[in-house]
Amino acid sequence: MRRALLALLAVTALGLPGAAGAAACSPLNCAPSQFALAHGTLLGFRTSALGQVRVVDLKTGVRQLTLPGGFVGGDTLVHKAGRQLVWYDATTGKRTHALSLKRNMRLAGVSQDGSRAVGFRLIPGGGTTVVVASPQGARELVLPGEQWDFDALRGGRLFLIRYLSLGGYQVRLLDLRTGVLAPKPLKDPHESGTIWGQPFSRLSSADGRFLFTLYITSNGAAMVHELDLDDATARCIDLPGTGDYASAASWAMMLAPDGRTLWAVSPGYGRVVAIDIADRSITTAFRIELPNWAVGRGTRAAISPDANQIALADGNTVALLDLAQRRIAQRDRYVATAVGYSPTGQLWRLT
């Protein structure tokens, strides 16, 4: 991983949501986000990290419902209102469960399937309480120090972010079955255990096993952190391009329909790469031309069902990337908050 200091001023310049501390955004995501629901037949999208979620039927392109802000895992959204946690079925909008907390906490994330929520509460005099809550109740565990945040939760493994006093952060593993925190950080065997940069956007595999986080640095470098939640292993894959933070913030990630390839596209740098998830390596890389892309607005992206085309949107225009020809086949002026494909390949430009 390339090393650089976190640039919160650059985040502000891009008009992205900010937060105190080393994490610029919550939930580890500054980019405009969109995500598949109901096995890819629905699309959820929003314009801010914890803003309202709009859900569209990809068969018709028609909006189905709007959900309150919260964290999404699988087909479930968890919303916090005061001391109450509320679970919603994101495919129907139905409120399914609620839990009243005895004490308040900062909601930080949800499990890969959305069944559990994770929050933090500082302990006066030092230390942090991590809260793992389900509709049936909440469990609390104490962590040393105060610089903790959420990364992922799957099964009995809780992956945590530990901010370091000298900068950067580590991924730490807490075994919920034993309550024991692993003594060493989880890391790529070819890298140090310290991650530098800003976690900008993230994407989960359809089965919830893999979590991909895009990190960008103040000097415009970027990398994908691939976390295998079943094996508790991590790899860092450097992406091409450096020297411009806004161009780095234009990277967008999407999974191929077969779930074996992660595509990453940066209109700002004019670069496209394909990452083999099993081998954790770049297998395809080429250049494209998208001049005057609105890099400060992030990039919305979707891949077609036949994996031959990627749609890209910057809020002002929509571009179509032909993967076979390795070129931009079309670009039209269109205000779109998100893009998605129907099961038959119809492209929807959504607002």
| Residues 16-28: tens digit of each pLDDT | 332 223 333 434 5
Is pLDDT at 29 greater than 50 in this prediction? yes
- Which of these ranges, 185-194, 198-207, 245-254, has the smallest mean pLDDT? 185-194
Helices of type H across the chain: 8-13, 245-248
Spatial separation of the C-alpha atoms in residues 167 and 179, rounded to whole Å = 27
- What's CA 187's distance to the chain center, in Å? 19
Confidence at 275, pLDDT banded by 50, 70, 90: very high
Q: From 251, 195, 205, select the one nearest 228 (Cα to Cα).
A: 205
Provide the pLDDT for residue 15.
39
Query: What pLDDT score does 51 carry?
Result: 86
Q: Please tell me what DSSP assigns to residue 123.
A: P
Determine the pLDDT at residue 195.
Answer: 78
pLDDT (tens digit, 9 = 90+) per residue, 148-182? 999 999 999 999 999 887 778 889 999 999 999 99
Topology of the domain comprising 240-351? Methylamine Dehydrogenase; Chain H (2.130.10)
pLDDT at 200: 87
- Residue 189 vs residues 37, 174, 272: alpha-carbon distances, Å: 34, 19, 26
Tokens encoding 3: 């090393």
Name the CA radius of gyration of the chain, rounded: 19
Both structure tokens of 33 = 């986000």
* 130 neighbors 116 (Cβ within 8 angstroms): no
Of 101 and 297, which is predicted with more confidence?
Answer: 101
Among the listed ranges 64-78, 128-142, 195-209, 275-289, which one has the minimum average pLDDT value?
Answer: 195-209
Task: Tell me the whole-structure pTM to 2 decimals.
Answer: 0.88
